[in-house]
Amino acid sequence: MSGLVEKSSFGGLRKPLLLPAWLTIGFFLVIPVLTMLVYSFLTKEFRGGVLWEFSLAAYDQFFFDRGLFGDEPPKIEWTYINIFWRSIVQAAVATLICLVIGFPTAYFIATRSPQTRNIWLFLITVPYWVNLLIRTVSMKFLIRDTGPLNHWLMQAGIIDSPIHMINTNFAVQLGLFYSYLPFMVLPIYASVERYNFSLSEASADLYAGRWTTLRRIVLPSVKPGIIAGCILVFVPSLGAFLAPDLLGGAKTFMIGTLIEEQFKGAAGNWPFGAAASMLLLSLVMVVLLFYASSQSKQALHH
Amino acid sequence: MTEHHQENVAVAANSLFKNYGSVEALKDVSLSINDNEFFTLLGPSGCGKTTLLRIIAGFEAITAGTLFLHGKNIADLPANKRPVNTVFQNYSLFPHMSVADNVGFGLEMQGKDKNQIKQRTHEMLELVQLGEYADRKPGQLSGGQQQRVALARALAPQPEVLLLDEPLSALDLKLRKAMRLELKQIQENAGITFIFVTHDQEEALTMSDRIAVMSQGELQQLGTATQIYQEPRNRFVADFIGESNLIPTTVLSSDIHTMRCKLTDSISIAIPGKESVSEGDQGELCIRPERIRLSNADESANLEGVVDGIVYLGTDTQLLFKLDDQQTLSVRTQNADNDGPVVEVGQRVGLHIDESSCRFLPES
């Protein structure tokens, strides 16, 4: 039906009008990803870059340990799998924290009067006018041992000696949370704003308490916004390298940092970085496919 | 509480006030609604009828006054603790739940066991003739069917009072008329007090045991359909319920039985008397258009007018007359007995006003 409308209203102009979209997707998505894919199957050149020889070495290095000289029988290499696993856990925790704090925030904003809503949304987005790098460095300054946070806590008499926060998981989580909170708040806000609040009244009218109404009526109604928010936080958190790099230490090494290092300086390994990127991309695709299938199942029910 | 509870009173509201900031939505509203009554709150939009309904449901807090449900003070009870249920204007069915889950929701929240819920849900869906739609989602039903689900959902927990917020306004005319009779029947069978909010006077007149006419946050008149139509208490009620000719008048003489009121400069009519009205009072005469006859043939005419307009309305014809002092008078004649005088624009015609049906409305 909608296809018919589009065809008839744009006629022969339809293809030229779609051209910018196709060009954008081609230049910024298809070509870079294909380049990475090709690089991941090439041979490493020692001062960075690649040699045009087909090789599975990058993937082999990721999954298998063949000893220092590569002549021992292959064992599973856990280092990188662990880094991946740790990244997934970090990203999941960051997503959960963003959700727990972002949902009430979004709900609060959506239930304000229409005039004040814009002010609240504006306040949420103000920090994002500052570059991510600068924000992350500021966070480092804020939470370091001699930083203002520890200073205030000690002055207030809550703690005696500074809490060591920098280079911990906590610091990385704080950085991720601060970086991606709006990506959780905005989609949830959009769906709560569309939510018909008379459904909550109907629920209360039918003897449901506030928590039951939230769980049984509100959450299912705003689920698309919650899922979108979770994906928007989880995916970039998974590949984030600024927060883990600046706020974390060796123990919080994540995929993003691993990949970044492969392309930085002479010590890098481009095919290996490309392979790790492709594996990360596959992981993200799995998450998105899972989401898409859950959406289409819902669509079938409606 | 000093309130003395009467046996058959379901809802008793006393001096209710509701302010939204500086806006007074309800001003000193007192009324009591009886058990098993079909009670209608009627008025134009913004008159406070929906506010009153939402106050009874528990969605709005009262600014001042008392509110009793079967003798129990419910003013401070949250909505989910009040044994009343609501049929919402736009139904507010839960879109992610099946029809059966919607209807069973209230019962589930009351902590009824699964079998009971299943049985009662089934009963309710049969009552509204939607038995085979139990597994559908609300979005798959028509407006009329959704309306029935909303009704079944609100009736399922057996509320003490059922509140209906303009439930028919989203339906088309034919369906609306059919639903009126059905609602009335369901109310009689269920034996539950219905409080029905509407701006549609026809809906109010056809279904209600009693009607409360509201305007600008105030209760204008409370009575049966016949009472508010035949004995409107003030200009607003006379104008809002049905059609009426409202003619400025002065009382020429008055006793308990009759009073004589000026109609035009030269003509006066004698209408039923009213207490607390005395000679010289200013006000308006309320004359229903269907209480005026054309009477060229006989001698009963009590005034004359010139035909100014003719509007054919199917079952009726509306005739507009200009009286000698330029006052306009609307007359309705039924087309069934159309062997009477057929008139033309510009023709001078004798008119007979049924004086006993006219009312004097004092200036407020």
pLDDT of residue B175: 85
Q: Are residues B267 and B315 in the same domain?
A: yes
Tokens 């230490």 belong to residue:
A249
DSSP string, B311-347: EE-SSEEEEEEE-TTS-EEEEEEESTTTTS----TT-
CATH code where residue B306 lies? 2.40.50.140
Q: Are residues B66 and B105 in the same domain?
A: yes
Number of domains in chain B: 2
pLDDT digits (tens, 9 = 90+) for B7-21: 789 999 999 999 999
CATH code where residue B140 lies? 3.40.50.300
Q: Look up the domain containing B54 and give its range.
A: 9-235
- Subunit contact A221:B85, Cβ cutoff 8 A: no
Size of interface A-B (CB pairs under 8 A): 60
Q: Are residues B114 and B206 in the same domain?
A: yes
B357, two tokens: 């049906």
pLDDT of residue A6: 46
pLDDT of residue A125: 87
B82, two tokens: 């009040």
Q: Are residues B176 and B294 in the same domain?
A: no
| Mean per-residue pLDDT, B47-63 | 95
How many angstroms separate the CA of residue B82 from the nearest CA in chain A? 8
Q: Does residue B336 lie in a domain region?
A: yes
- Subunit contact B58:A206, Cβ cutoff 8 A: no
pLDDT of residue A2: 44
- Subunit contact B153:A206, Cβ cutoff 8 A: yes
Find which of A191, A198, A205 to mutate to test the B interface (most B CBs within 10 Å of its CB).
Answer: A205
Query: Strand runs (DSSP E) across A72-168, as ranges?
Result: 75-76
Domain boundary among B235, B255, B279: B235
Q: Does A33 touch chain B (CB under 8 A)?
A: no
Cα nearest neighbour of A217 on chain B: B94
Domain boundary among B235, B270, B287: B235
pLDDT digits (tens, 9 = 90+) for A33-83: 999 999 999 988 877 788 888 988 889 888 888 877 777 888 888 889 999
Q: Are residues B326 and B274 in the same domain?
A: yes
- Subunit contact A198:B92, Cβ cutoff 8 A: yes
- Subunit contact B106:A198, Cβ cutoff 8 A: no
Q: Does residue B4 lie in a domain region?
A: no
Using a CB-CB cut-off of 8 Å, the residues of chain A touching B139 are: 302
Going from N- to C-terminal start, the domains of chain A cover 78-262
Q: Are residues B56 and B200 in the same domain?
A: yes
| Mean per-residue pLDDT, B162-189 | 89
Q: Does residue B30 lie in a domain region?
A: yes
Using a CB-CB cut-off of 8 Å, the residues of chain A touching B84 are: 205
| Mean per-residue pLDDT, B43-53 | 94
Cα nearest neighbour of A219 on chain B: B96
Using a CB-CB cut-off of 8 Å, the residues of chain B touching A201 are: 57, 59, 79, 86, 88, 92
Q: Judge contact between B74 and B58, C-beta under 8 A.
A: yes
* Dist. CA B9–CA B78, nearest whole Å: 21
Q: Are residues B128 and B50 in the same domain?
A: yes
Q: Does B106 touch chain A (CB under 8 A)?
A: yes
Instruction: Give the gyration radius of chain A's Cα atoms.
Output: 24
pLDDT digits (tens, 9 = 90+) for B217-238: 999 999 999 999 999 999 999 9
Q: Are residues B159 and B87 in the same domain?
A: yes
Q: Are residues B255 and B192 in the same domain?
A: no
Domain boundary among B235, B269, B288: B235
Q: Are residues B177 and B130 in the same domain?
A: yes
Residue A74 has what DSSP assignment? Answer: P
Q: Does A204 touch chain B (CB under 8 A)?
A: yes
Pick the CATH number of A78-262 from 1.10.3720.10, 3.90.420.10, 1.10.287.470, 3.40.50.300: 1.10.3720.10
Q: Is the pLDDT of residue B32 over 90?
A: yes
pLDDT digits (tens, 9 = 90+) for B135-164: 999 999 998 899 999 999 999 999 999 999
pLDDT of residue B7: 73
pLDDT of residue B340: 53
Q: Are residues B88 and B131 in the same domain?
A: yes
Average pLDDT, consecutive stretches of 10 residues, N- to C-terminus, chain A (302 residues): 49 84 92 93 83 89 83 85 90 95 95 92 88 88 87 86 84 90 94 94 95 95 92 90 81 83 82 93 87 71 52
Residue B1 pLDDT grade (very low, low, confident, very high; cuts 50, 70, 90): very low
DSSP string, B155-211: HTT--SEEEEESTTTTS-HHHHHHHHHHHHHHHHHHT-EEEEEES-HHHHHHH-SEE
Q: Does A294 touch chain B (CB under 8 A)?
A: no
- Subunit contact A221:B90, Cβ cutoff 8 A: no
| Mean per-residue pLDDT, B202-208 | 92
Using a CB-CB cut-off of 8 Å, the residues of chain B touching A212 are: 109
Q: What pTM value is reported for the model?
A: 0.81
Compare B323 and A199 and report the one with higher pLDDT: A199
Q: Are residues B225 and B313 in the same domain?
A: no
How many angstroms separate the CA of residue B61 from the nearest CA in chain A? 14
Cα nearest neighbour of A222 on chain B: B96
Q: Does B59 touch chain A (CB under 8 A)?
A: yes
